[in-house]
Amino acid sequence: MATVLNLPLAVFALSLVAMWSSAQIGVYFRKRVFPLHTGEQEDFSLVVPATLTLLGLVIGFSFAMVSGRYDQRKNYEEAEANAIGTEYLRADLLPASDAGRVRELLKKYIDQRVLFFQTRDEHQLGRIDVETLRLQSELWSVVQATAAKQPTYPVGLVVSGMNDVLNSQGYTQAAWWNRLPVAAWIFMVAMSIFSSWLIGYSSHQSGMVRFPVLPLALSIAFFLIADIDSPRHGLIRVVPQNLMSVSRSLRAK
């Protein structure tokens, strides 16, 4: 299921078919299995709106969760760009040879961070992660060696800034792993299928559900939630504008 959730269009298609079929099954149940009598129609006129209201709350809650995660990814991208830009300036506090080494490594490092946000290829992502870890190790080795030789306050600022650079990457990665729980998807889909079944079962004529109005609307909502919740494969993605801007600024110096 996790693979399907990474494909918003597949979520849209599957949910549309599932909920439209549920509505048709509801029509079949009313006609052939459990006919709805006149007095029972009034009860269903209360059950259906209540069920749809609960479904709307569940969808709204899920959308709020994925929207918060999207904002979190944007904020961490900005924080990561600021941390790298600040550390590049603090490199002036190091000896000349070490400062030049740190600057060159930071230029390569920020390019890898931009690629992390832009790539959709899982194989390329693996190579990016390996290169990122290598550059982090080299950056930390340089400032650690300098701090061991010159344990001064200015060098301490550089070490603190490098720590921010490394931590910001970890926060970003955690935000990309933090997705809407599968249990929430299961509950939301189950509610939607049941609601579609109720709409079909309580409709007066089968023609009312031939055009899947409710299933289509719900499928669009599911598509939007899945798209925002999929940071790498969705249409709505975080563009690393801050990282690219810092990268251009570093290259210009």
Domain residue extents for the chain: 2-212+224-252
pLDDT of residue 36: 61
pLDDT of residue 209: 47
Q: What is the pTM of this model?
A: 0.84
pLDDT of residue 166: 95
Please tell me the distance from the alpha carbon of residue 199 to that of residue 87, in angstroms, as a whole number. Answer: 59
Report yes or no: 78 and 242 within 8 Å, Cβ to Cβ. Answer: yes
pLDDT of residue 144: 93
Structure tokens at 118: 């832009």
For the chain, 253 residues long, the average pLDDT of each consecutive 10-residue run is: 76 90 81 64 73 90 93 95 95 92 95 94 91 96 92 91 95 92 90 86 58 82 93 89 93 77
